[in-house]
Amino acid sequence: MKLPKRYKAAAESFDRTVRYSLPEAVDIVKKNATAKFDETVEVAARLGVDPRHSEQQVRGTIVLPHGIGKSVKVLVITKGEREKEAKDAGADLVGAEEYIAKIKEGWLDVDKIVATPDMMSEVGKLGKILGPKGLMPNPKSGTVTFDVSKTIKELKAGKIEYRTDKVGNIHVPIGKASFDKEKLVENITIFIKELVRTRPASAKGQYFKNLSVSSTMSPGVKLDVQALLAAMKQ
């Protein structure tokens, strides 16, 4: 597979065998984010867990202090008095049967879907459509709730959901290349602290197998995990 020139140049600009400090890694990522659009900065973590066991799955949500630099289009599926509440809180789309019908027909022009519990008997039927796209409302991610106002505001502020895949990897957006270095460092630090907090009690041995930062069009820069964890304790 022939690598794009920009990717190849970025890969040759640093030593990919070295594990860098977080500030150094962010500097490298920002320097190599030379696309014509504002590239997304992402964190990838390989954890020492076995997600085949439910007690070792790592998942949750977190609101990053500086958001992720993306406008989030939110659909709230609800009825009655909470329709006004959702609209007042900034939901882009609010409704019930009309949106359920549109989704059944293949419409998915949203980034997040929130549903009130009384609507889940109908929304649940959309699992085969919404599940593969990561749009299915779920109580664990806070997207099945009667407190729609709080949830909408968190999503708009940059709330992200994280979850290990079948081999223990987690991959999340953490900001934009245009962010100040300090903001990216803080967002990443807060996210890593969250992973430490949610470490399963049954997970044995090395927890962080690998940790890297990248932008949309550049290779990952490996982080010195031990140095990062030590710095977080100071």
Q: What is the pLDDT of residues 134-166, one digit of tens each?
A: 899 999 888 999 999 999 999 998 889 899 999
Candidates 233, 216, 231; CA nearest to 44 is 216
* The pLDDT of residue 196: 95
CA distance 153 to 74: 10
Q: Is CATH 3.40.47.10 the classification given to domain 74-157?
A: no
What pLDDT is attached to residue 40?
96
User: How many CB atoms within 10 Å of residue 173?
Assistant: 17
Domain 14-68+159-233 has CATH 3.40.50.970: no
CA distances, 79 to each of 96, 101, 116, 117, 134 (Å): 6, 15, 8, 11, 23
Give me the residue spans of the domains in the chain.
14-68+159-233, 74-157
pTM: 0.81
pLDDT at 3 over 80: no
